[in-house]
Structure 1
Amino acid sequence: MTRADRPTRVGHADPRDVNRLTADLAAVGVRAGQDLLVHCSMRRIGPVVGGPATLLAALRRVAGPDATVVVPAHTVGNSTTGPAFRAATSGLNAAGRAAYEAGLTGFDPATTPSEGMGILAEYVRQQPDAARSGHPITSFAALGRRAVEFTEIHDLDCHLGERSPLGNLFTAGAAVLLLGVGYARCTALHLAEYRPEARRPAGPPPERMYRCYVLVGGRRERRDFRAPLLDASDFPEIGAAMEACLPVGRGLVGAAPSRLLDLRVAVDFATTWMAGHRRP
């Protein structure tokens, strides 16, 4: 049994400090100068002295001052065409749905909290020197030398494609760090769905209309746009195939089974996998 396969000890009585987390991250394979896209479950890591601040300090200590830490800062509840809105308005009549929509706060990258991305992601977003991309549904936040560069482009009709922070991270040769979460949360794999070579034999991904709200000069404005309908349902299968074929760093960070993978290699692998396995 490898260290990564040992049972997670939720609620372990020995809180992790920055030194222990630093050692764990280095053992998984995080190296100096490595830009990181981090998906994290602090609950799976277990008790940490100082919480997300300590984990971020450990990440920055291992990756060093030249590295940039990027996290998802999505706001899925801001869309009236997503599952969060459907769940919140289930059972309401047309008037009730309209009233709920009228209460949606417009997205402001400087102040709008992320939703469901975990406490590390929200902690990173709130740092004074953090940069955040401007997409009202699928933004990313970043800290470090290339934070502005990685987040400055995020087209409205490109949730997770080439003209999003994922495209910049791919070009930069960043790594993906999954801390206590599985491949279903590996946002980078969505980048493969945008590539023409991933669409055979399934053809191009279907598109749909999206609606959300933004704040412009303090005024709430509606945005309607068409973009691909993305599908993460087979990401765990893609992840298993990657681990069978590619070098993937593995280990425990705290009590959390964790993975480190080259983002570019992972996206290229997923592109080929989708072309051979997805069906029309």
Structure 2
Amino acid sequence: MGDRKIVIKKDIVNALQQLGIKSGQNIIVHTSMKSFGFVCGGPQIIIEALIELVGKDGTIIIPTQTWKNMDPAYGVHWEEPIEWWDIIRDNWPAYDKDITPTNSMGAVAEMFRKWPGVLRSDHPVRSFAAWGKNAQYLINNHDLSDIFGESSPIGKLYDLDGYVLLLGTGYDKNTSIHLADERADYPSKHMEENSCAMMKDGERKWVTYSTLYVDGEDFMDIGIDFEKKYRVENTKIGNADVRFMRQREIVDFAVEWIEKNRK
């Protein structure tokens, strides 16, 4: 067992309250439950704690991405031989926000997408799920080409002056920094084409669309420098490091950082 700790719901509630989480806040949450140790009750108690703390006037939003529904040439089916790629393109099920499971987003995201009252966006690859007062606003009209930009759930959370909660994850999982990708001007910035299976006019179709190239390789470096200049509330829950910050602060800082450092 070593130093592995056990976590109960009360531990989570107390720690999140100490960070400053309270009723009425709009929070995007990224979670690695296995980093906590043993969570007594699993993802259910984490979701319950979050919802209870923000209350009916608050909102919880969690990424529920399904990136396996991308063109195999993008590398998402690296385990499969290239001879199968056309078969995958022709047969991968169209995204269905009520059915399609998340891809490597963790047990909390997977449970949250079907939680009572949760709404999920229509993006066939980069969806988000939300619960609470502003859920409909956040997930509505998630444009195919604007996955993390101004009209996306991330951009709308910025408009709401929301918060970011990292539960056992690092800045490499801090999806809000992708909004800075959209806003920043840097030499290597470019669009790319991708494809996915989705329903269009009542039929499954393989649809190609253009979007900003998603680059998160420097997000950890951005986080290190961000914490040198801004206050980030932090604590431990079990074995997990937990961080809580204003989304606008990390996004605005990341825009400047990217413009200064990216080639």
Q: Which category of TM-score, normalised to the shorter sequence, fits these structures?
A: over 0.9
Structure-2-length-normalised TM-score: 0.94
Task: Judge conservation of contact 2:57–2:132 (CA < 8 Å) in 1.
Answer: yes
Aligned length: 261
Secondary structure of 1:88's counterpart equals: coil
- The one of 57, 67, 89 equivalent to 1:101 is 89
Task: Judge conservation of contact 2:130–2:139 (CA < 8 Å) in 1.
Answer: yes
1:229 aligned residue? 213
Cα 1:217–1:253 shift into 2, 3 Å: farther
Q: Which moved more, 1:28-37 or 1:259-268?
A: 28-37
1:148 aligned residue? 136
Task: Judge conservation of contact 1:24–1:254 (CA < 8 Å) in 2.
Answer: no
Gaps spanning 5+ residues in structure 1: where? Answer: 1-7
Task: Judge conservation of contact 1:153–1:165 (CA < 8 Å) in 2.
Answer: no
Alignment of 1:200-215 (within 5 A): 202-203=186-187, 205-215=189-199
Measure the CA separation in 2 of the matches of 1:203 and 1:18: 47
1:265 partnered with 2:249: yes
- The one of 121, 129, 136 equivalent to 2:124 is 136
Task: Judge conservation of contact 2:166–2:242 (CA < 8 Å) in 1.
Answer: yes
Give the letter aligned to residue 83 of structure 1.
G
- The one of 9, 21, 28 equivalent to 1:37 is 28
* Percent of aligned positions that are identical: 31
- The one of 228, 236, 251 equivalent to 1:252 is 236
Gaps spanning 5+ residues in structure 2: where? Answer: none
Task: Judge conservation of contact 2:147–2:211 (CA < 8 Å) in 1.
Answer: yes
C-alpha displacement of 1:219: 3.0
1:219 aligned residue? 203
Q: Deviations over 1:2-29 (max 9, x none)?
A: xxxxxx943x2xx322212100111233
Measure the CA separation in 2 of the matches of 1:107 and 1:82: 18
C-alpha displacement of 1:110: 1.8
Measure the CA separation in 2 of the matches of 1:203 and 1:155: 25
C-alpha displacement of 1:150: 0.7
Structure-1-length-normalised TM-score: 0.89
Task: Judge conservation of contact 1:251–1:259 (CA < 8 Å) in 2.
Answer: yes
1:49 aligned residue? 40
1:5 aligned residue? none
